[in-house]
Amino acid sequence: MLIPDSSLRADGRSADQLRPLRFQNGIAPHATGSTLIEWGNTRVICGVTIEETVPRWMKEQKVEGGWITAEYSMLPYSTLTRKPRDIAKGKLDGRSSEIQRLIGRSLRAALDLKKLGARTICVDCDVLQADGGTRTAAITGAFVALSLAIQKLIAEKKLIQSPILHAVAAASVGIVNGVPLLDLCYTEDVAASVDMNLVMTDRGQFIELQGSGEEATFSEAELAALLALGKAGIRALLVAQQQALNPI
């Protein structure tokens, strides 16, 4: 059972409450579509650019349609202690590589790639400030930036119709001090005995589930509670995305 006592959380939220969310569209004017997603104290710039070509492997295998690829990075000043750039280490760290593959998979599930035509959508997600949930913020913001880019391609008559099949959003959940919580901030994330990330479509279908116990186990009932929290949170995120794309 969820305990609604706000004293459980450092920021006073209830167990099933998202942090404040805001989108600032057009943050990167040279991108085809962009937004700054501010989710609590986490801030991620999501920018989309278009290349009028496809990867070599698609040409060689004669695969129809287009492709979506993503890059993710945390800027050096995004964390409490400076995070060296990957280029300084000479390679992409494992976490960044995993997250950018997740972003790419999530957005490819949202589109009919054949309708995209022979072009590549490049999605760049740069974390300005990290306070938990950077991957879920990147996915949620990237879909808004992608939608803005598709709108521009249609307006420029480069696309006849939208290739978007589904809206996509992501949320984190976890168990902290025995209580299932939605949308973990950093202090909750590091204290969680179980943490999970959900990526879903606006039709209620799962794209990806990432969950594990941190030196702990969890029951089927706890898993069900986490899924219920995550699904409710994603429904709210999908509404926020549509409001950002269709402001009154």
**Domain assignments of the chain as residue spans, ordered by start:** 20-245
Residue 221 in tokens: 């009932």
Cα gap 39→58, rounded to integer Å: 36
Q: What is the bridge-based pairing of β-strands 206-213 and 194-201?
A: antiparallel
Q: For 28-43, how does the pLDDT look when each residue is reduced to its tens digit (9 = 90+)? A: 999 999 999 999 999 9
Q: For 10-64, how does the pLDDT look when each residue is reduced to its tens digit (9 = 90+)? A: 788 999 999 999 999 999 999 999 999 999 999 999 999 999 999 999 999 999 9
CA distances from 81 to 39, 47, 130, 135, 186 (A): 20, 25, 11, 19, 14
pLDDT averaged over every residue in the chain: 92
Q: For 119-155, how does the pLDDT look when each residue is reduced to its tens digit (9 = 90+)? A: 999 999 999 999 999 999 999 999 999 999 999 999 9
Rounded to 10 degrees, the C-alpha dihedral 199/122/43/162 comes to: -60
- Of residues 56, 29, 224, 24, the one with CA closest to residue 144: 24
Assigned CATH topology for domain 20-245: Ribosomal Protein S5; domain 2 (3.30.230)
Q: What is the pTM of this model?
A: 0.93
Check if the beta carbon of residue 174 is closer than 8 Å to that of residue 184.
Answer: yes
